[in-house]
Amino acid sequence: MKEATALLAKEKGAAFVLAGGTDLLVRLRTGFIEPDLVVDIKKISGTRAITAAGGGFKIGAAVSGAEMGEHAKLKKAWPGVVEAANLIGSKQVQGRCTVAGNLCNASPAADSVPALVAAGAKANIVGPKGKRTIPVEQVPVSPGRTSLKKGEIIESIVLPKRPPKSGDAYLRFIPRTEMDIAVVGVGISLTLDAKGVVKDARVSLGAVAPTVLLVPAAAKAIIGTKLDKTALDNLAAACSAACKPIDDKRGTREYRIKVAGVLARRAAQIARKRAGGK
């Protein structure tokens, strides 16, 4: 990894990391980018592994969506993150695409990112000046741009230890049944207490702003509740209020704002069920 960052840092022209290549190669083939250097990270030690870390999981930067879906322990602990990763593209894309690449491509509609943000995932970054770790929501800064500095590579994504009675879920709306870009995506992770009251939650929205959003007001709306109707109404209202979407051919502003609330309600109920709640 050190050599890879050194190569990227010293290149004076356009330099890119290649993970699965399902974004990069498309942009290269269509002439959007003309790289002077491409560094393939797939054969760097550790990048293809999912390992236990601090009671949670460390997902190497070249682990594919398909490999995440085949990892029984990861799927059991973080079903929402895995379902989001497995929504990316088709079977063919799944064999290559990575969540780190999804994050670094910095699309506001990236499917795995709201789930990772809701999960409280962190990105381990290696660069010419050493290592640093940041919350994943700090990686994308605007459509197509990240906070990564020249020469920096995400080495792995870390999912934290799961307290008992926790669940997560990711839902997206697309006009087709698959292979489309999210009109809205919602990731929710929550933990219940022994009485089924939500004691902790994180809510994240995709495709409704220039970057994926963490919405603390939406989490606040459900913490301390049993997700009764009022709590779900408040959650939906907080999600809709956080949206700053664009109009495009997939959906109007108003439509996205409405759908964000609808999906948030449904995702919260799925997460509760997965946490063992009724």
Ligand X SMILES: Cc1cc2nc3c(=O)[nH]c(=O)nc-3n(C[C@H](O)[C@H](O)[C@H](O)COP(=O)(O)OP(=O)(O)OC[C@H]3O[C@@H](n4cnc5c(N)ncnc54)[C@H](O)[C@@H]3O)c2cc1C
In angstroms, give the least distance from the CB of 157 to ligand X: 9
| Residue type at position 240 | S
| Residue type at position 116 | L
Q: Which two tokens stand for residue 153?
A: 């590579």
Pairing type for strands 37-40 and 15-18 reads parallel
In angstroms, give the least distance from the CB of 163 to ligand X: 28
Q: Which is nearer to ligand X, 16 or 173 (CB)?
A: 16
Q: Return the C-alpha torsion angle 136, 138, 143, 146, nearest 10.
A: -90
Write the binding mask 128 to 167 for ligand X: x where contact by CB under 6 A, - elsewhere: --------------------x----xx-------------
Binding of residue 16 to ligand X (CB under 6 A) = yes
Q: Which is nearer to ligand X, 58 or 96 (CB)?
A: 96
The enclosing H or E element of 200 equals strand 198-206
Residues 178-207 that bind ligand X (CB under 6 A): 179
3-state percent breakdown (helix, strand, coil) of the chain, nearest 5 = 35, 25, 40
Residue nearest to ligand X (CB): 101
In angstroms, give the least distance from the CB of 275 to ligand X: 25
Among 68, 74, 79, 96, which residue interacts with ligand X (rule: CB under 6 A)?
96
Instruction: Tally the residues of the chain.
Output: 278
Q: Interface with ligand X by CB under 6 A: which range of 96-104, 191-199, 219-227, 247-255?
A: 96-104
Binding of residue 44 to ligand X (CB under 6 A) = no
Helices (H), 78-228: 79-85, 91-94, 99-105, 112-119, 216-222
Q: Which is nearer to ligand X, 24 or 205 (CB)?
A: 24
In angstroms, give the least distance from the CB of 270 to ligand X: 19
How would you label 177-192 residue by residue, b for 16+ Cβ within 10 Å and e otherwise? eeeebbbbbbbbbbbb
Q: Which is nearer to ligand X, 166 or 211 (CB)?
A: 211
SS3 assignment, position 74:
helix
Binding of residue 116 to ligand X (CB under 6 A) = no
State the DSSP code for 138: G
Among 9, 11, 46, 89, which residue interacts with ligand X (rule: CB under 6 A)?
89
Among 44, 59, 61, 221, which residue interacts with ligand X (rule: CB under 6 A)?
61
SS3 assignment, position 262:
helix
Please name which of 189, 170, 162 lies closest in space to residue 99, comparing C-alpha atoms: 170
Q: Which residues bind ligand X (CB under 6 A)?
A: 16-24, 26, 41, 61, 87-89, 93, 96-98, 100-102, 104-105, 110-111, 148, 153-154, 179
